Amino acid sequence: MPPYETSEQDPRVPAAKRPPSIVAFLLVSILTAAVTSAVVVGVFWGYTPASTNAPIEETNEPFSSHEAAVEEVVDKISPAVVSIVATKDLPVIEQYFVNPFGDALPDPFSPFDFQVPQYRQRGTERREVAAGTGFIVSEDGFILTNRHVVDVPGADFVVIFTDGTRVDAEVAARDPGEDLAIVRIRRQGLPVVPLGDSDDVRVGQTVVAIGNSLGQFQNTVSVGVVSGLSRRLEVEDEVIEGAIQTDAAINPGNSGGPLLNLRGEAIGINTAIVVGSQNLGFAIPANKAGKDLEDVRSSGKISYAYLGVRYIDVTSEIRDARGLQSDFGALISGSAQEPGVLPDSPAAAAGLREGDVILQLDSQRVDTSHSLASVIRAHRPGDRVTLRVLSGSEERDVPVVLEEQP
């Protein structure tokens, strides 16, 4: 996330408690009991089920048009999904033993032979230190993946195709605000995964995930549905907003792989799972990656517009705690280490002050579903926007020219 459009938590507002997740267990228990009862009743009332020994005609035809669509997507897209492997020269350490008494002769009558283990480096060895997934998005070798897949200091990267071909790769750009990166290989005429419009994704639609599961099982395929949209995740020290939630199995090593619709378009980039959950995975919307690709092609880097404020997402709890006139928006609020409005920033030039609440940017309302940071990311440096700002009890329109994030 860009550092100066960041959402903070208000320490005066307690975190919400989550109810225990026991619904699934209860449903399984109830269904099991119901099935058991049905079997018992059938036996005691003399019911004989129809024979299940009739031969099943063997066929290679898909069972349904849905299955056929999945197979077609996999056949079409798999050649453009690659494994990304990070390698490094690591020291080879060997163990040896020495007499702690130096060259002194051992006591021939002692039952002990004192030897102390020591360690020393004997050269280096090239080893694989990390593995993830990527997918080709241009015939001339641009590959989308996650930033965390290539955040390996001092590593070299190799792209591995489904046929085992290995090609040296370089990191063209890392996205500073999203868990995205673009890798480049020097090849032409490559198969491509087209990017779909992630704004058109609907809950319940079928999706296909392909990736290098566990860093060992290349191009593993899983199928599921979109089970949620616009999810907000806190992953280690960064926040992912607007994520697509899916129940298609996503395993470690799948990071950076495509989440596909049945037209064979990547609607997301698989990025995170909830450890300990069942089939709870998340993907970054493809539209965000499309912007990155355009930036790299045009300027060789990924650029962000920025306003230059620190803020707190306004909720009804924040409104009551701070005595605000609105239960939505972005409250400009600094800290002891950093002011809410950065000096020499677009916000400072526009006259914004701590305590102002940004309610709207152009026609987009700012709220917990559309954070100020995510709304600004949709723009480019140099864009002229109008902020609707609440100062005390007075609303006003403030024109601002966004600049490139330092």
Whether 7 is catalytic: no
- Please report the pLDDT score of residue 114 as a whole number: 66
Whether 303 is catalytic: no
Whether 179 is catalytic: yes
Model confidence at 45, pLDDT cuts 50, 70, 90, reads very low
Mean pLDDT, rounded, for 372-399? 92
- Please report the pLDDT score of residue 213 as a whole number: 83
Give the model confidence (pLDDT) of 108-135 as tens digits: 665 666 677 777 767 667 777 788 999 9
Question: Does residue 15 have a pLDDT over 90?
Answer: no
Query: Of the residues 179, 247, 292, 367, which is catalytic?
Result: 179
For domain 304-404, the question of CATH label 2.30.42.10 is answered with: yes
Burial letters 286-320, b for 16+ CB under 10 A, else e = bbbbbbbbebbeeeeebbbbbbbbbbbbbbeebbe
Say what percent of the chain tops pLDDT 90. 50
Query: Of the residues 255, 333, 345, 371, which is catalytic?
Result: 255
pTM of the model: 0.71
Mean pLDDT, rounded, for 41-50? 35
Query: Of the residues 148, 295, 367, 374, which is catalytic?
Result: 148
Two tokens at 96?
Answer: 């040896």
- Beta 309-313 vs 5-8: how paired, if at all? parallel
Cβ atoms of 210 and 77 within 8 Å: the answer is: yes
* Domain spans in the chain, listed from the N-terminal domain onward: 198-299, 304-404
- Please report the pLDDT score of residue 12 as a whole number: 42
Q: What are the angstrom distances between the C-alpha of 76 and each of 61, 70, 72, 223? A: 18, 10, 6, 15
The topology under which CATH files domain 198-299 is: Thrombin, subunit H (2.40.10)
- Please report the pLDDT score of residue 110 as a whole number: 59
Q: Which residues pair with 197 in a beta bridge?
A: none
Computed over every residue of the chain, the mean pLDDT equals: 80
Give the model confidence (pLDDT) of 308-329 as tens digits: 999 999 999 999 999 999 999 9
